[in-house]
Amino acid sequence: THELTVEQLVERLNRGHAKLFAAREQRPRPLTDRKVLTGWNGLMIRGLADAGRLLENPKYLEAAEQAADFALKNLRTDDGRLYRTWTDGQAKLNAYVSDYAFLIDGLIALHEATGDTRWLDAATALNDRQLELFWDEANGGFFFTSDDHESLLARIKNPVDAAEPAGNSVAAANLLYLGKKLNRPELIEKARQTVQSVSGLLEVSPAVAPRLAIVIGQLSAPKPE
């Protein structure tokens, strides 16, 4: 009585799965986080653009372009600033430096992958806005919050790479790339100042900022790459 054919076993399993699924559908569903984050989309755009270029897969490039178009349309204000989050048709909250840096990086990757100058133009405009809003004129580097953010106890910087690369690290790489690409030496100098602003930390614990270490290597080369 326990001998079953493969077809019978598969049929029984399918019936069991259907019953389990029906029972599960009766339970209250957990909350679903549906918000769109600017910075995370920038990271994904970079990944998709690189994958599309290296694997010669147009589907990845198309997805990257769709995400970039969405971000520039829905997460950018008329005066060129960024919001941090979008949910159910509403964008809100001032973006942080990492949101700017990651989206700029994604747009740069799209330009490299497609040759379309609109991505380079958008990256350049956002980079200039980032300098206006986050740059530390006294010590170099970028603050985490914009100059008109709500008042906090301290306006901090974070140079340490963790699950995400630090905003300062990616911003420095963006400055170096755009400075070379656009023949704007002042941007390369800003990249150098960003590195110098955390030189003390890098001397003691260089492993905490590997992305910034790459920028140092590029700046130290005879012709920055």
Residue type (1 letter), 21: F
pLDDT digits (tens, 9 = 90+) for 42-60: 999 999 999 999 999 999 9
225: pLDDT strictly greater than 80: no
Question: How high is the pLDDT of residue 223?
Answer: 66
Question: How high is the pLDDT of residue 224?
Answer: 46
pLDDT digits (tens, 9 = 90+) for 197-224: 998 888 888 889 999 999 999 998 876 4
Q: Is residue 174 part of a domain?
A: yes
Domain count, the chain: 1
Q: Is residue 25 part of a domain?
A: no
Task: Say how far apart CA 113 and CA 56 lie, in whole Å.
Answer: 10
Average of pLDDT values for 102-108? 99
Q: Is residue 150 part of a domain?
A: yes
- How much of the chain is in helix, strand and coil states, percent to nearest 5? 60, 5, 30
Q: Is residue 7 part of a domain?
A: no
Task: Say how far apart CA 90 and CA 81 lie, in whole Å.
Answer: 15
Task: Say how far apart CA 66 and CA 130 lie, in whole Å.
Answer: 23
Average of pLDDT values for 54-80? 97
Q: Is residue 19 part of a domain?
A: no
Q: Is residue 225 part of a domain?
A: no
In the sheet that 83-87 helps form, which strands lie side by side, from edge to edge? 36-37, 83-87, 90-94
Average of pLDDT values for 94-118? 98
Average of pLDDT values for 97-121? 98
104: pLDDT strictly greater than 60: yes
Q: Is residue 1 part of a domain?
A: no
Scan for tokens 């100059």, then name that residue. 147
Q: Is residue 216 part of a domain?
A: yes
Cα 222–Cα 175–Cα 76 angle in degrees, nearest 5? 160
Write the CATH number for 177.
1.50.10.20
Task: Say how far apart CA 102 and CA 85 lie, in whole Å.
Answer: 14
31: pLDDT strictly greater than 90: no
Q: Which of 166, 80, 73 is nearest to 124 (CA)?
A: 80
Question: How high is the pLDDT of residue 158?
Answer: 86
Domain that holds residue 65: 33-220
Percent of the chain with pLDDT over 70: 97
Residue 179 pLDDT grade (very low, low, confident, very high; cuts 50, 70, 90) = very high
